[in-house]
Each structure stands twice: as C-alpha cells, then as structure tokens.
Amino acid sequence: MNRWPHRLGLAATMAVACWITTSAAAAQNLHGAMPMADQAQKFAALKPKEAAALASTRIDPVIWQSVVPEDNTLTPARVALGEKLYFDARLSADGTVACATCHDVSRGFTDQRPVSEGIRDQLGRRNAPTTMNALLMQTMFLDGRSPNLEEQAKLPIINPIEMGQPDGAAVTKLVANDAAYQPLFKDAYGRAPTYEDVGRALAAFERTLVFLDSPFDDFARGDVHAISPQAQDGWVLFNGKARCVSCHALNPSNPLGTDNRFHNIGVSARHQDFEQLATRAQIELAKNSNPHALDELALSTDMSELGRFMVTRDRADIGAFKTMQLRNIVLTAPYMHDGTLQTLWDVMDHYNKGGEANPYLDGGIEPLALSESEIDAVVAFMATLTDKRFADQAQTILAAQRTAAATKRPFRDNALALRQLIPFEQRVTGKGGK
C-alpha cells in the first residue's frame, strides 16, 4: 500500500529519485524491517486505547506529569504528526531507513538484531532499545547521553551510520517542502516546521507507546492465577536470591524494572581492552566534545564499548550501560548493549556466574548459585511481563529460545556460579575456568 500519494510533477527529477526509494521502503523489507505501510497498519490495530485519552491510565498521573515537558504536552495533532514521521523513511538520506526500521512494530519496537543496520547497510555498534514504554526512561540511549525523547529523536536522523542526514536544517527543509507535512506541523505547533518540532512530534508519538498491560500486572493487582506457580517462584527469586531487583526495580512507581542507572556487568570485557580504550577516549573527547561528535564516535569506533564513560568521563562508568527495562523482554532479543546474548537463558547464565570480571565491574554483581530450575523460574517470570497484545508473538519467540537453550548455553559456568571458582581468581592466578 502506498502511503505517499503521487503529487510530484515530471520536472522534479531529484524528488522523483527520492520518491522511488521511498516507495520501496513503504513496500519492501528493507534492512529486515516490515514494510512501513504494513507496520502502520499493524500499529493501527495495536494502538494503545489510552492513546485516545493522550495519557495512559496505566501510568500514575504524577509520573505522567513529570515525563511530559511543558512545551510538548500531548495533543492529537502532535501525536499524528509524530506517527507519520516515525514511519517515514524519507527522513533518511537514502530513503531506506525510518525510525520504524530499527524500532519495528512487528519486532517488539526494536529490530531483533545484535546491532542495528542503517543507510547503505552500515552496522552500528549497539543493540537498538525498544521504543515501547521508553517514555518512562529517565535518560535515553544505552549510555543515557540524551535527557529525554525530544533530544534523543533528533540524533539518529543526522547520524551518518543510521539515517545519515547532513544536519537538522536538511530535515527541516525536507518536511517544509512537503505539502502533506505543512498543515500537520501548523496544527501541531502553530508554526512552520523546525527540527526541534520534528523531535517534539516524534517524542509526543512515542509517549503513546505504553505497553504495560501484562499478566504480571494482573497478578500484582491481586489475581493470583494470572501467572503460573513457576513464574511466581521466579518473582520470589527475582526479589531475593537472584538479586535482579537490586538494579531492575519493579514496582508501581517504577513499572519498567530499571533503576535508570549505569552498571558495568562485564559484557564488554569479553572483547575489549578497556584501559587502552579509556585512554584513547579521553584524548579524543578532549579534542571535540559536542554532542553529535560523541554520538558519531560511539557508533563508529570501539569506544562505544566504554558506555556511560563517554558521557561522564567518570572512570567508574567505563563499560557501564543503562539498566534496560524488563517489560516485553521476550520480544526484544538479542540482549545486552551489543546484542551478544541470544536467549534469556544466556542472560541468566551471565548473571549467575557473576558477570565477567574486569577492573570496572559493578560491585553489586556477584555469583548467584542458581539451579537450572531456578533459572527456568526467573525466565518464566520475565515472560509474564509481556503486554497481552503480544502474547502469541512472545510465546513463539520464547519457545524458539527454549529450544536453542536446550543445546546451546555458551555462558553457563557452574564453577563460577557455585563459587568454586571466584571471580577475578582466574585473572589473578591464571588457573581454573571452564
């Protein structure tokens, strides 16, 4: 289905070239994404009912007020504009990448790839977080370098590896020259398009992506049959022996299951030399520290692995990434900032052995001594955090993960998990290990 009625004359050859690629994005599986037209249709069916009221009933009004900036209160016009922009691949330099390419409605509002693919099939360095419920995150990006959705939305569009526009002015010109967009911007913000308003509209739309209607929420409200006994065991482990809750705070005022903080859990340690990179990063950043340079540097070099350190330059943040939300976690595989863990069983194995020892490992990470049945229980609990609208999709994914985990558990290490071998012991003594 063609979302872009052909209004162009024969004379505008440039525009025609752009139009053809746009047409392609609307109809083809570019970069592995569901075609934009199909996504828009799928989204219409999924659209949270709360969107009509413009403030989700699943979010406490006080919290809601705190996440919506005064200059970008939600209006139907703003949300509609944001939705159109979200699915519009013409925002990218070659017309192949929209927000919805890597935050795909059909793939858990992420891309279900280890790292994302941008224009000209370039690969970034990090796993795309889901846009579902992102409105409740206190900072944006895995290193938290943006304070809100408004600021976040503007960066991938002008990142050379992602959507590749030269600058915000180019994007503004693009939408300002589009007859379909002109009235939408006027209705939304009462003025001609600006790049700031592109960011605002996308943020407004993303604030409607509330997917917090899960079996666990029914359980938390008192329906003890809403989740299985195994999942209930998992909830107890989550709050106790498995120590998940230390970082994945999950409660009515914190419904995402994140502390919004940054922790080194050792994922980078498997393939990077932190200390060398940290030295290099400090030299690079001293040369150029504007936010876009940082954005590009993180995506194009190994320094991306330094995580939060690139923002704070605090040595304790080396290799630290934001605690991700647990909502709809089954849908958003593969896991961790670099997408190196394929299944939730891999995730449990990683934590069970106390992460990966490295000089900046968070002090709260320690071996858990979880048994196989305990691991299964925590995974079963995590599965209850899937919004009901995705129940079938999640079931299929979880079944596939379970099958994969039955034969492949690359991060399982019982010696470490059961504390027969202590983290750092192998680094120090050179003995032991798998």
Partner 1 sequence: MPRRARHTSIETKHYAERDALFDGLRHLDRRAFLKVSAAAAAAAAVHGMVPQSFMPIDVAYAATSGVEPFRIAYISDAHLYERAVNERFVRSLLRAVDDVNHLDPQPDFVLFGGDLAQLGQAGELDLGAQILKNVKAPMHMMVGEHDWFLDLGEKWQALFGQPTYSFDHKGVHFVVLNSIHEDDFWTARGMTPMQRMQTVAGLDNGLQGRFQVGAPQREWLKQDLAKISKQTPLIVFSHSPLYKYYRPWNFWTEDADEVQAILKPFNTVTVIHGHTHQMLTNRIGNIQFHGMLSTAWPWPYAPQGLPPLTIQMDRADPFNPNDGCGNGGVEVHADGLVDKVYNLWNRNPVTVSANYLSSRGTKNVPAKPNLVSF
Give the residues lining the site for partner 1 (CB under 8 A): 138-139, 246-247, 260, 275, 312, 314-317, 357, 359, 361-364, 366-367, 419, 422-425, 427-429
- Smallest gap from Cβ 262 to partner 1, in A, equals 9
Number of H helices and E strands in the chain, helices first, is: 20, 2
Give the three-class secondary structure for 308.
Answer: coil
Nearer to partner 1, 235 or 262 (CB): 262
- Computed on alpha carbons and rounded to an integer, the radius of gyration of the chain in Å comes to 22
Nearer to partner 1, 405 or 416 (CB): 416
Angle (CA) 359 365 369, round 5°: 125
- Smallest gap from Cβ 273 to partner 1, in A, equals 11
Nearer to partner 1, 89 or 421 (CB): 421
Please choose, from the candidates 149, 7, 10, 161, the residue with its C-alpha nearest in 3D space to the C-alpha of residue 78: 149
Please choose, from the candidates 250, 261, 281, 222, the residue with its C-alpha nearest in 3D space to the C-alpha of residue 362: 261
- Smallest gap from Cβ 159 to partner 1, in A, equals 25
- Smallest gap from Cβ 414 to partner 1, in A, equals 15
- Smallest gap from Cβ 308 to partner 1, in A, equals 9
Give the three-class secondary structure for 419.
Answer: coil
Nearer to partner 1, 287 or 431 (CB): 431
**335 near 113, Cβ under 8 Å?**
no
- Smallest gap from Cβ 246 to partner 1, in A, equals 6
Nearer to partner 1, 90 or 263 (CB): 263
Q: Which residues pair with 320 in a beta bridge?
A: 307
**232 near 406, Cβ under 8 Å?**
no
Q: Which residues pair with 140 in a beta bridge?
A: 146
- Smallest gap from Cβ 156 to partner 1, in A, equals 23
Nearer to partner 1, 339 or 423 (CB): 423
**230 near 382, Cβ under 8 Å?**
no
Nearer to partner 1, 164 or 367 (CB): 367
Give the three-class secondary structure for 180.
Answer: coil
Return the half-sphere exposure (C-beta side, CA atoms, 13 A cut-off) of residue 124. 31
- Smallest gap from Cβ 362 to partner 1, in A, equals 7
Task: Report the first-to-last Cα separation within the chain, whole angstroms.
Answer: 54
Nearer to partner 1, 305 or 362 (CB): 362
Runs of H (alpha helix) within 4-91:
13-27, 36-46, 50-53, 61-67, 76-86
Q: What is the DSSP letter of 322?
A: E
